[in-house]
Structure 1
Amino acid sequence: MDSATIDLQAEVNRLCHEIQTLEVQRESENGESITISDYILKRLEQLDVTSIFGLPGDFNMRMDFIEDHPTIKWIGNCNELNASYAADGYARVKERSIGVVVTTFGVGELSAINGIAGAFSEMVPVLHIVGVPSTTQLKSKPMLHHTLGNGRFDAYTKAAEQVTIAQAAIMTPRQAGPEIDRILTECITHARPVYLTLPMDLVAAKIPAKRLKVALPRTPPANNPDVENYVLDEIVKLVDDAKQDVVILVDACAIRHDVRQEVSDLLTKTQFPVYASPMGKTAVSEEHERYGGIYVGSITQPSIKEKVEGAKLILSIGALKSDFNTGMFTYHIPTARTVELHSDQTLIRHGHFPGIGMKLLLPKLTERLSKYKQGALKIPVLRFKLDVPKEGDYKISHAYFWPRLGKFFRKQDVIVAETGTSNFGVLDVPMPDKSIFVSQILFGSIGWATASTLGAALAARDRGLGRTILFTGDGSMQLTVQEISTMIHYKLKPIIFVLNNKGYNIERHLHGLDRKYNDIVDWKWTSLLTTLGDTDGKLSKSYTVRSKAELDKLLDDDEFASAQKIQLVEVLMDKYDTPRALQAAADLTAKMAAKSVG
């Protein structure tokens, strides 16, 4: 679907919502009004938001409006970048809700923009609210603090336009309700960040409350019925031609665009074998009887690679074909054997059908394909296992660490992995049913995982999920370590594994194995929790493990596993040891670099 069509459909949706709102306003005799800030909070409450991240500033929305709200909590962060990462993590775990971050004009919003960019890249719905100068100042453009000093008051909005799908600048009370509803609708229907500026003199301005009675639309645009029927017929023909030798490959957008249930129904009624990409990990239960493992192109475990690439037809759901997600673009799946379902289009071999979205298509496709169930069941699916190797030495290697942690995971755990070493290490580890894997594989901002864990842990607590477990490196942790203090302040209890290998492991293996720029200053990691908030040591506990035996003893300890307090585990590892998948990716990267130079 081209940008013009998307814009047109968005305008149609907005007008339909406005018509519904006007009907409610005509029918209601109640002239109740509400402040703009409370209107925003009411809409967020309807979207099941219970935490808002950010920092106070002299221009941003008054914190007392949020702090006084009965169900939404203000989560004060250490800096705006961390706040945006936390909002991202919150939205990933609190599915069908959104993340929200509040910053002040200029200095605050620019600090947050990297986190917003990551959310845009990976299709995570986040609302960025920016408190800006008064409407009078925005028009007269005096040389205010936090500006560039040249009268360009729109400079930050122009920056935000590059990393958000919709923007709204509230300048009058009359436009507030419609504009707030418009960008929130864009946020939840497209799973992308949006940007809202609110002048300081309009925070308490009153607007009609009636339109709050009309829920924001979540349903995607209807598929053209004639084109949809043609698409369904074509897919069924391809399944017939494939003699039912069909594999389903699930990716990140199955999560982002809310088709988990539709995919589950498809698997139940067809029993086709299913595999996932790295970004789609835990999109389907990894304990499902037809689940075969993770496919990452040439980096894939050989037994999985053979099954996926040998299938006569691949039904791809929600693909995001980035470099790390595809094994450095080494998918060996010809277009002629592929059907791709996306949120706003369908690709059948070399045919392109814009506007045919998977949310509405999948239930109909499931009914059409259910007749193939018995034939699909004849296709064997090997349950991928990752056994803990028997190594003779005492050192904790990646080959040992990740399979051993796989035995530690439980149902409903939220597992957060930092970009790089941890992402690649945990890739092959089968995860329990109803667990949630959170990582930033496409944007790959080092340090993202620690601050994201704050949001993920809050969302997990809201949803009644299990433990929140973070895997990060010593280098990555140093970028955003301050947010551990926020976790302690709000009595969150994640288990934090810090892989201490004296620097940037992924960078070493991509380039500069022995270069000093990949080294870092070593910290006293076991002192962090007391330094960053647990001053009397009652709310936390820290450990250092140097050997396999020490690691095993800790993981087998019931008190540690129960996660009754925040815990940090420093894992001492060899400087040059690296996970299998990361080494394979590094080798591919080196080959690609050599070709480009040649």
Structure 2
Amino acid sequence: MSSATSQQAVASLHTEVTRLRHELQTLKGEHESPAAEQTMYVGQYLVERLVQLGITKMFGVPGDFNLGFLDFVEDHPKIDWVGDCNELNAAYAADGYARVNDGKIGVVLTTFGVGELSAMNGIAGAFSEHIPVLHLVGVPSTSQQKDKPMLHHTLGDGRYDAYYLASQQFTVAQGNLTNKDAAAAEIDRVLTECLVMARPVYLMLPTDVAYQRISAKRLQTPLNLEPPANDEETEEFVLNEIIKLVEEAQHDAILLIDACAVRHGVKKEVEDLYKHTGFPVYSAPMGKSVVAETYERYGGIYVGSISSPAVKDKVENAKLILSIGGLKSDFNTGNFTYHIPTQRTIELHSDHTRIKFATFPGIGMKRLLPKLTARLQSFRAGATALEVPKFQFPVPKEDNEIISQSWLWPRVGKFFQPKDIIVAETGTSSFGVLDIPLPQDSIFVSQILWGSIGWTVGATLGAAFGGLDRNLNRTILFIGDGSIQLTVQELSVMIRWGLKPIIFVLNNSGYTIERYLHGMTRKYNDISNWKWTSLLDTLGGEEGKNCKSYTVRTKTELSALLDDPKFANPDVIQLVELIMEKNDAPRALKVQAELSGKTNRYVAED
């Protein structure tokens, strides 16, 4: 068994023990409750549990196997059915909603077969990037599942479990509510694992079971979402070893924060760590905005050989690196060019800790970090003496009016405000925003690991709703003209709901990141040029009334728009077409593409 498999097995075992303890507590509460038994439909129970978890929006597409359940959703005063244009976009939206809403899950509802398979790419992306999403599927009745008639949406061969089996590849827990007596416990199990493991789960709701009555008593006991406890003796050993290594490093240590720090709910613990200890702190690309980028001890983004020289020097020459929530994918590490040896690295994860070459399964960072912070505070004097490069990116002076990639990103950086949600599409936009300091309490949203182009449109819909839940500021999307064509329909949903995102469409005539990877002049990287400023009007808006569109071709035009208070504080959805050079790209993207191109080896052998 591999180390990763062993760690996952231990983590799953810990989760199951926690669930069983909670189940005993719940059953005890039910037994002791003197109140008269209240009943409700299974579908109502599920909706009520979601509301208890703070979910205000459900995404998806109606279908004949989920319509009855949708009545419960529509009739509940505290949750809204959003209604998307297709299931893929709905899965993207649920993903975006969960990313912005720390500690909450995204929910996508589809119908059996055709609907759930359409959503599966979005669910796989959420799995890849550790996003808690409930994929709820309305399925045929229990009698139909047993008798296996040749129903529509089936494969015609009686395999009613085919989609369930497929879902197991992309979710950490699955359930089929075929037994009403076990339905409530099964719902609770799946939801708990979704949140504790921070990954998608899959739940089948048969049409008949949705309308069967069950006891509502379990709702009186909140779900236990605390991570499993660490073994005290092992945890103490781990803490002592970390302190020993910091002492050996003579305080020359840095913190490197990555995506799972926010995915697994330790953002506050990480903040306490770096503020109370004073150690220099850096982020990986997927961890951007986990650390406040206005913090004076924050040095910027480390992405292997692609990093700025100052950041690369400080991180790679530190005597000790404390990595928190790392996800070492190619685009997150500069194509695996991290030059931080294992013998100088400590890794903290949600379900294990790694010290140099030794792994400690079951020692999770949620409970470890507060104790580590307390132990490391005594090193503050030495830690604060370490120099940290200032994280800044001034707007360059260019003697032309062309909207270049090198000018665009630092210029829009001055447009950002505190509490903004900044969504960047995979490719040009995500690489461009990386080096730009973000304001206090802003949130960076990008799908760097899974990298499904067009993901950001649906994610922007979900993120905007999440921002309303959390009373955040504006939602701003940067996306290329190629990517937006895949999922553009969700703009109509934003208009219907009165959302007010600002959408910057980078019109550079095709797939720029693909051109740099391979085929700079190939036709397959070209696209159709749409009438971008007519999109919102076409998709249900009324230009000048509930939407506004702009085309900017020069630096002067863009700066004037960004400085316009009415544009900067929108009361309607806005779309800006940016006319840019076809073959221009951010520096980091060019370097990453060159590295990826060597790895892909698109070279014919003689």
TM-score, normalised via structure 1 length: 0.99
- Paired residue for 1:164? 171
Runs of 5+ unmatched residues, structure 2: 1-5
Q: Which residue of 2 aligns with 1:43?
A: 49
Q: Which amino acid aligns with 1:339?
A: I
- 3-state DSSP class of the match of 1:90? helix
Q: State the match for 1:573 in structure 2.
A: 580
Q: CA deviation at 1:175?
A: 1.2
1:238 is matched by which residue type in structure 2?
Answer: L
**Alignment check: 8 A CA contact 2:420 2:443 kept:** yes
Query: 1:299, CA displacement in angstroms?
Result: 0.4
Q: Which residue of 2 aligns with 1:6?
A: 11
Per-residue CA shift, 1:140-182, capped at 9, x if unaligned? 0000000000001000001111001000001111010010000
State the Cα distance separating 1:597 from its structure 2 match.
7.5
**453-462 or 10-19, larger mean C-alpha shift:** 10-19
Equivalent residue for 1:22, pick from 2, 22, 27? 27
Please name the residue that 2:3 is paired with.
Answer: none
Structure 2 equivalent of residue 486 of structure 1:
493
Map residues 370-519 of structure 1 onto 2, 5 A cutoff. 370-519=377-526
Q: 1:435 is matched by which residue type in structure 2?
A: S
User: What secondary structure, in the 3-state scheme, does the structure 2 residue paired with 1:130 have?
Assistant: strand
Q: How far apart are residue 123 of structure 1 and its match?
A: 0.4
Give the distance between the partners of 1:597 and 1:266, measured in 2 at CA.
51
Q: Secondary structure at the match of 2:322?
A: strand
Q: What amino acid maps onto 1:169 in structure 2?
A: N
Q: Is the 8 A contact 2:426 2:452 kept in 1?
A: yes
- AA at the equivalent of 2:299: G
* 1:268 pairs with 2:275: yes
Q: Alignment partner of 2:138: what SS?
A: strand
CA distance in structure 2 between the partners assigned to 1:254 and 1:436 by the alignment:
14
Off by >6 Å, runs of 4+ in structure 1? 595-598
Letter in 2 for 1:406: G
Partner of 2:296: 289
TM-aligned CA distance change 1:227 to 1:54, over 3 Å: same
Question: Which residue identity does 1:44 align to in structure 2?
Answer: L
Q: Once the 2 structures are TM-superposed, how far is the Cα of residue 377 of structure 1 from its aligned partner?
A: 1.0
Indicate how the Cα distance of structure 1 residues 365 and 118 shifts in structure 2: closer, same or farther if over 3 A, else same: same
Deviation (angstroms), 1:595:
9.9
Match of 1:249 in 2: 256
Q: Is the 8 A contact 2:10 2:361 kept in 1?
A: no
Q: Judge which range, 203-212 or 518-527, deviates more.
A: 203-212
Secondary structure in 2 matching 1:399: helix
How big is the shift at 1:537? 4.0
Deviation at 1:425, TM superposition (A): 0.8
Please give the root-mean-square deviation of Cα atoms over the aligned residues, in Å: 1.2
- Secondary structure (helix, strand or coil) at the match of 2:134 reads strand
Cα distance in 1 for partners of 2:329, 2:97 equals 23
Alignment of 1:37-76 (within 5 A): 37-62=43-68, 63-76=70-83
- Taking the aligned partners of 2:389 and 2:331, their CA distance within structure 1 comes to 25
* Structure 1 counterpart SS, 2:210: coil
Displacement after TM superposition at 1:28 (Å): 1.2
In 2, Cα distance between equivalents of 1:6 and 1:385: 40
Residue 363 (structure 1) aligned to one of 363, 370, 375: 370
Q: For 1:563 and 1:375, how far apart are their aligned partners in 2?
A: 47
Question: Is 1:80 paired with 2:87?
Answer: yes
Contact 1:100 1:128 in 2 (8 A): yes
The aligned amino acid for 2:480 is G
Residue identity (%): 61
1-side partners of 2:13 and 2:343: how far apart? 32
Which residue of the partner structure matches residue 541 of structure 1?
548
- Per-residue CA deviation, residues 243-282 of structure 1 (Å, 9 max, x unaligned), is 1011000000000000011001111110000000000000
Q: Scaled by the length of structure 2, what TM-score is found?
A: 0.97
What SS does structure 2 have at the residue aligned with 1:44?
A: helix
Shift of 1:380: 1.5
Work out the CA distance in 2 between the residues paired with 1:293 and 1:258: 21
1 CA distance for matches of 2:586 and 2:9?
Answer: 44
Deviation at 1:594, TM superposition (A): 4.2
Change (3 A) 1:509 1:374: same
Matched, 1:334 2:334: no
Pairs within 5 Å for 1:289-328:
289-328=296-335
Could you tell me how far apart the structure 1 residues matched to 2:118 and 2:389 are?
47
Alignment check: 8 A CA contact 1:61 1:102 kept: no
The alpha carbon displacement at 1:591 in A equals 2.7
Distance 1:565 1:88 in 2: 24
**Structure 1: gaps spanning 5 or more residues:** none
Match in the other structure for 1:204? 211
Q: What CA distance in whole angstroms lies between the structure 2 residues aligned with 1:11 and 1:465?
A: 35
Q: Is the Cα contact below 8 Å between 2:7 and 2:352 reproduced in 1?
A: no
CA distance in 2, matches of 1:466, 1:437: 13
Alpha-carbon distance, 1:6 to partner: 3.4
Q: Distance in 2 between matches of 1:297 and 1:565?
A: 40
Q: Residues 61 and 198 of structure 1 are in contact (CA less than 8 Å); yes or no, is this contact kept in structure 2? A: no
Question: In structure 1, what is the Cα distance between the partners aligned to 2:400 and 2:26?
Answer: 69
State the 1:27 CA deviation: 1.1
The aligned amino acid for 1:6 is: A
Give the superposition deviation at 1:34: 1.3
Give SS of 1:381's match. coil
Q: Could you tell me which residue of structure 1 aligns to residue 148 of structure 2? A: 141
Distance in 1, Cα, partners of 2:274 & 2:16 = 35
**TM-superposition CA deviations, 1:322-381 (whole Å, max 9, x none):** 000000000000011100000000010111111110000000000110000111111111
Of 159-168 and 213-222, the range deviating more from structure 2: 213-222
CA distance, structure 1, for counterparts of residue 57 and residue 290 of structure 2: 24
**Counterpart amino acid of 1:25?**
E
* Contact 1:61–1:130 under 8 Å retained in 2: no
Contact 1:50 1:72 in 2 (8 A): yes
Partner letter of residue 276 of structure 2?
K
2 CA distance for matches of 1:399 and 1:14?
Answer: 51
Taking the aligned partners of 1:172 and 1:319, their CA distance within structure 2 comes to 40
Query: SS of the residue aligned with 2:524?
Result: helix
2:11–2:361 Cα contact (<8 Å) kept: no
- Does the residue aligned with 1:389 lie in a helix, a strand or coil? coil
Q: Cα offset for 1:536?
A: 5.7
Return the letter of the residue paired with 1:31.
Answer: E
Residue type matched to 2:509 in 1? Answer: K
Residue aligned with 1:203, SS = helix
